[in-house]
Structure 1
């Protein structure tokens, strides 16, 4: 609904300054709510629309003339001017009515139909994220890639893109030579059936230790990998078995996180295509062979090889970047995507810089639509048993701690499935703790901080949503859509509705920078405003007309809160 008011303001200013309203529209912004005092609703920096802001005298004269010609009308009830900023206050009953009716009509789509978002290109977005190494348990290091990638996919989908979620598995390389050779010596079929990834991890640890001391074991691993590369049936059968078991086990963890993929692919898919990449590099005359026999691509402009990327080992076998080149080109041809986003930690920054540069050298201009979203590392993640490396342990710990907290809390409601509720709250706690800061930053994880029921936490958001949901049990005449806007003129109601005005701008900024922290901060602000309003705008004991208007109001908050939480990858709970 902000766009309705934004357009009205832009049209009036446009008439005064003699510019098209479209040039002004995107410079009109909703004002962040001030908790301790009332404020106008929108602001416009005049420098953004006046043609000569550098001439101070001319600028001041023009600004005064402009403000002198503006008039209040049925939409704008007041305006002001100070320090180069023009502010607008919207007719209060109209503000209440328009915002709440818009939320009721659009539901979870509220904010996404804004003109602000119309400028973003729509099309096919491919998001590659999570990407664990098969035959290994899901490492906590993959948590960030998984939840960040899921958030980006959700966001792109919400603004109208078709999204393809791709899990590019690490399913090739020397580790499988070790595992294949080691399984015959250390493996146990029974243990593999009962707990596949745990047993494969144990085998990998044992064979890795053995290979460091025993040259024969290392040789066996290399021989197994050679069999795998040449397509030996027995080696491929074992690899296929390990890969299938791994994906089955990962799917269980993804389900707990509420994450799904459209496609599971991996390095193995491109093992046979790397020769095509090398031939393409040769044909473009950009593959150079060093004295050691390795194949490299010169990334400098003067050919001195001071900066290069190795794309072929001396024995002629492929590397990670060779397979990534094959994957990128294959996706360009297969999907003709409009955008491809890779989500990995920041240690791979150079890898992706090199990847994109080589693709450009190969004439693949679609690389301009490729982006690497990188993130920092999590430190200090522990369970009561000590340091953890497996994500399942973290999820189990979050659920166990939340169940314990729920059992202690006097306000806890009886739920049909306490463990499921605890799981959803625990996942929310992990996501919010992760998304509060810059994605590129490392951060230290704290269970105490993450699981606080008050403050800016996922638990607080879940509690607020459940509290709003419980209010709706008092709503006997929900089917009656009309309400009296004059019943919602209290400062806490107006402040909350002003905050709701800003939702499309927050989505815009979040989408532009792909940083979830903006959305997290907005939802926290909404949660705190909702709790202030809940304390002052009582439903019980109010007249039916007032109660009905207030229930409409609280439901509007719940709808937007739930929408934002789902974008972040959080499943809102109705009771806790």
Structure 2
């Protein structure tokens, strides 16, 4: 009976019965029967395995169904999921916060009749964190009707989604509270993948840009004005690089002119080979001061200087050899100072190196009939442009700054074909640069519109605390020593620092740079020694302390940053949301700063980020927390450290890991 024989248990009974009743006639039949039974055993094992797989599959399906139901329920609470659209000017690939702004703009465009790009541009950071993470400024939409009423209507119609958890009307603003866990997930992984490149973009398209800055005069002190040009110029170069431009930083030294004739005459009288090799800048300055004093008493000294410089312009080998030595020794010393400031140049140029361009420029000025003779000198009359009279050649045939600057600009464009060139020079030179640009325009150069003067105000009170004259190196020495004394007050931390003098030097330089960068570029400001050394308030030492504190968290936990950390363990605390959103704003700050080239924008951002870190650390500790919670928080603080360090490097600071 087939149904009966199909039951394995029945076959077992048959086997036992046949054995006991000798139903198998011989051994051969028994062997066949045993082989057949073995096959039946294998079939049963397969059947058992299939049943186990079926059960596991069923369990998995039930689990998936349960998770899907939970996810569906969560999505039902949040609203519909919105795909990220593409909007001109946004960069969601490098800026995770832009993805949220794009979603918001797209959804808002379905509620009000406004172009999506205008909506995107109207989304901004709220003035206070309690007002949400992104705010829509209704007045910027230029709609008819009361902005407050429009804001309330938008809130009433807005459908929540997995990007936006809640909305709130606040007068003419609509405040959006984001899903900061979703933001953190894309944000932290973007930072983990890009690290030191986090915040950068390629909007510049690798176009060539020249930034001329610092440009001290040989034989004169590297003073506060040069320091401002150096700090601002290096920042301009850095922010251009961060926005995808191919930059060339140029130090255009003041290394030509009658003053070098004066210096050569002075060195013949007062020079010392030993002092020159020891500190060329200071010794040449001392010589220059002494010979200037002589010149005030004796006009013949000026005649000697003019004659010497004329020999230089005529190519006299002996005169040029002495000048070249002064120049080369000074550049070596300058490079040491720049290295200490964490600043480097791609090119060291100078007025002396543009003779060919200068000669061609004079020839072109003649051909364009732009030159007029006046008392034996050659001038360009720019009075109809309200730029006065510009002398380009003295009556003795020697040239001036403007002549050499015209030649330099001509040679730079021919050599580098720049998309833009920036001159980082004090506002005292506004007229000079306006004259230069107008002359380039009158010469018919199309690229004249590609040159820009980024000016800045002056620094007051930047002498040593003893009131002595202003050599930058003296300022750096004094700040280092003062900061070293502050550090030694904490004996425990001081003992853990491997190179305390180097750290003190870096913190002191940070103090100088942040005090300078905290002022608007065009504003004059007074150098404040007392404020500079403070670890409280918005100072350089405070920024360094914030970075070192984040490094200390990573050291003390002895945990590796886990990019697979479950960020849901960050919870819904406001401190976490504020810190995550502040980290996310960094790429936008980098993009926006290129419009103004204001270092204070990055300084302000770095300070706010440091404050957010401090607030989060009050309640969201890593040490002692459960593993999953600790991993999520460590990933957040690590991302904050990378962001803060990148912002500090834009400002030419060396982020400290211990202090």
TM (norm. structure 1) is 0.92
For 1:315, which of 384, 396, 415 is the aligned residue?
396
Q: What does 1:490-529 correspond to in 2, within 5 Å?
A: 490-529=573-612
Cα pair 2:557 2:623 within 8 Å, conserved: no
Which stretch of structure 1 is more off in the superposition, 401-410 or 189-198? Answer: 189-198
Which stretch of structure 1 is more off in the superposition, 463-472 or 356-365? Answer: 356-365
1:177 paired residue number: 261
- Give 1:152 shift: 0.6
Aligned equivalents of 1:74, 1:358: Cα separation in 2: 58
Cα distance, 1:175–1:306 mapped onto 2, change above 3 Å: closer
1:233 paired residue number: 317
Residue by residue over 1:156-207, the C-alpha shift from the partner in whole angstroms, topping out at 9 and shown as x without a partner, is 1111110000000000011111111121221122222222222212221221
Aligned equivalents of 1:173, 1:201: Cα separation in 2: 16
1:94 paired residue number: 182
Cα pair 2:160 2:166 within 8 Å, conserved: yes
For 1:559, which of 642, 646, 649 is the aligned residue?
642
Matched, 1:141 2:233: no
Matched, 1:2 2:97: yes
Question: Aligned with 1:538: secondary structure?
Answer: coil
Cα pair 2:561 2:631 within 8 Å, conserved: no
Cα distance, 1:64–1:441 mapped onto 2, change above 3 Å: closer
Aligned equivalents of 2:151, 2:279: Cα separation in 1: 72
For 2:360, which of 276, 296, 299 is the aligned residue?
276
Which structure's CA Rg is the greater one? Answer: 2
2:72 paired residue number: none
Matched, 1:285 2:369: yes
2:198 paired residue number: 110
- Give 1:422 shift: 0.7
Matched, 1:256 2:375: no
Aligned equivalents of 2:617, 2:299: Cα separation in 1: 70
Which stretch of structure 1 is more off in the superposition, 566-575 or 10-19? Answer: 10-19
Aligned equivalents of 2:474, 2:226: Cα separation in 1: 13
1:159 paired residue number: 243
Cα pair 1:136 1:246 within 8 Å, conserved: no
Matched, 1:435 2:527: no
Cα pair 2:234 2:343 within 8 Å, conserved: yes
Aligned equivalents of 2:510, 2:291: Cα separation in 1: 38
1:471 paired residue number: 553
Aligned equivalents of 1:26, 1:565: Cα separation in 2: 27
Question: Aligned with 1:164: secondary structure?
Answer: strand
Matched, 1:218 2:306: no
Which stretch of structure 1 is more off in the superposition, 472-481 or 193-202? Answer: 472-481
Cα pair 2:358 2:403 within 8 Å, conserved: yes
2:463 paired residue number: 382
Question: Aligned with 1:56: secondary structure?
Answer: coil
Aligned equivalents of 2:176, 2:493: Cα separation in 1: 43
Residue by residue over 1:140-165, the C-alpha shift from the partner in whole angstroms, topping out at 9 and shown as x without a partner, is 33111111111111111111110000
Q: Cα RMSD over matched residues?
A: 2.2
Cα pair 1:33 1:499 within 8 Å, conserved: no
Question: Aligned with 2:175: secondary structure?
Answer: strand
Matched, 1:12 2:104: no
- Give 1:334 shift: 1.3
For 2:169, which of 55, 68, 81 is the aligned residue?
81
Aligned equivalents of 1:281, 1:572: Cα separation in 2: 50
Cα pair 2:550 2:641 within 8 Å, conserved: yes
Cα distance, 1:42–1:60 mapped onto 2, change above 3 Å: closer
Cα distance, 1:324–1:466 mapped onto 2, change above 3 Å: same
Aligned equivalents of 1:511, 1:215: Cα separation in 2: 50
Aligned equivalents of 2:206, 2:137: Cα separation in 1: 30
Structure 2 unaligned regions, length at least 5: 1-95
Aligned equivalents of 2:357, 2:102: Cα separation in 1: 53
Aligned equivalents of 1:479, 1:403: Cα separation in 2: 33
Cα distance, 1:217–1:2 mapped onto 2, change above 3 Å: same
Aligned equivalents of 1:520, 1:167: Cα separation in 2: 25
Cα pair 1:227 1:235 within 8 Å, conserved: yes
Aligned equivalents of 2:279, 2:171: Cα separation in 1: 67
Aligned equivalents of 1:222, 1:466: Cα separation in 2: 55
Cα pair 1:380 1:387 within 8 Å, conserved: no
2:479 paired residue number: 398
Matched, 1:267 2:348: no
- Give 1:328 shift: 0.8
Residue by residue over 1:113-139, the C-alpha shift from the partner in whole angstroms, topping out at 9 and shown as x without a partner, is 4xxx84x66511100000011233422
For 2:145, which of 56, 59, 67 is the aligned residue?
56
Cα pair 2:180 2:581 within 8 Å, conserved: no
Cα distance, 1:355–1:15 mapped onto 2, change above 3 Å: same
Question: Aligned with 1:16: secondary structure?
Answer: coil
- Give 1:218 shift: 2.8
1:367 paired residue number: 448
Q: What does 1:280-359 correspond to in 2, within 5 Å?
A: 280-290=364-374, 292-301=375-384, 307-359=388-440
- Give 1:67 shift: 4.6
**Bigger relative contact order (CA 8 A; separation at least 6):** 1
Cα pair 1:381 1:387 within 8 Å, conserved: no
Question: Aligned with 2:182: secondary structure?
Answer: helix
Structure 1 unaligned regions, length at least 5: none
Residue by residue over 1:365-390, the C-alpha shift from the partner in whole angstroms, topping out at 9 and shown as x without a partner, is 21212111111111112324323310
Question: Aligned with 1:386: secondary structure?
Answer: coil
1:547 paired residue number: 630
- Give 1:484 shift: 2.5
Matched, 1:200 2:284: yes
- Give 1:539 shift: 1.8
Residue by residue over 1:201-223, the C-alpha shift from the partner in whole angstroms, topping out at 9 and shown as x without a partner, is 22212211112223443332222
Aligned equivalents of 2:322, 2:387: Cα separation in 1: 42
- Give 1:499 shift: 1.7
Question: Aligned with 2:493: secondary structure?
Answer: coil
Aligned equivalents of 2:502, 2:305: Cα separation in 1: 43
Question: Aligned with 2:618: secondary structure?
Answer: helix
Cα pair 1:465 1:574 within 8 Å, conserved: yes
